[in-house]
Structure 1
Amino acid sequence: MSEAQSVSGEPGIGRELTAFQQNILVILSEEPRYGLAIKRELEDYYGSEVNHGRLYPNLDDLVEMELVEKSELDKRTNQYALTEKGKQAVLGQLGWIFSRFVTDAERADELRALVDAAE
């Protein structure tokens, strides 16, 4: 059974996160990034500017919740990486969403097609 299939269908800590914070976790699911790279990804997604005053306090909150790990790349640049707890938060949220979305075999096939396209 895959990890996605073993998720309980409960959002867990994901229910405490804002959509903005959840989007940060999803971005970090791909690979660790520095702050400005996360900012660019969010701006592409939202189609508008993301202020530093919004991004960095949310990153700090995610670090405090132990969902993201912060490390120093150099004296001016921090890198952010998803922790195992953060990965579980993303999987929990996806499991909850999927448990609501998949109401029949056709919808399950639609999700399988999305997963196959992403691989």
Structure 2
Amino acid sequence: MIAGQDDSQGLSIKGELEEYYENEIHHGRLYPNFDTVVDKELVYKGKADKRTNYYTITARGRRELEDRREWEDQYVGELPSSSE
């Protein structure tokens, strides 16, 4: 979610996650997870204003995503079609 957008705000990311998972994402779970990826320097957290933070992926975060995709391609590859 963060990787595909510039300066994503927490609430917009929350909305996308809720749409994807078709479940409500609680603030008490979401923001500690944001803090974890910020602490790991995968995401940068900035201030949009006094009450609103924004999140952007870091170069390290982008490398981690690329590594994950390579791993998936290597071990998962293409999935067979449902007709097979």
Instruction: Determine if the TM-score, normalized by the shorter chain, exceeds 0.5.
Output: yes
Decide which of 1, 4, 20 is 1:45's aligned counterpart. 20
**Cross-structure match for 2:64:** 89
Deviation (angstroms), 1:101: 2.1
1:55 partner letter: L
Which ranges in structure 1 are unaligned for 5 or more consecutive residues?
A: 1-26, 108-119
Partner of 1:79: 54
Q: Which string of whole-angstrom CA distances, capped at 9 and with x for unpartnered residues, describes residues 58-115 of structure 1? A: 000100000000000000000000000000111111111111122xxxx3xxxxxxxx
Query: Does 2:13 align with 1:30?
Result: no
**How many residues get paired?**
79
Give the TM-score of the pair, scaled to structure 2. 0.88
Higher relative contact order (CA 8 A, sep 6+): 1
Q: Which aligned segments of 4 or more residues in structure 1 are displaced greater than 6 angstroms?
A: none
SS in 1 for 2:44: strand
What TM-score results when the alignment is normalised by the length of structure 1? 0.63
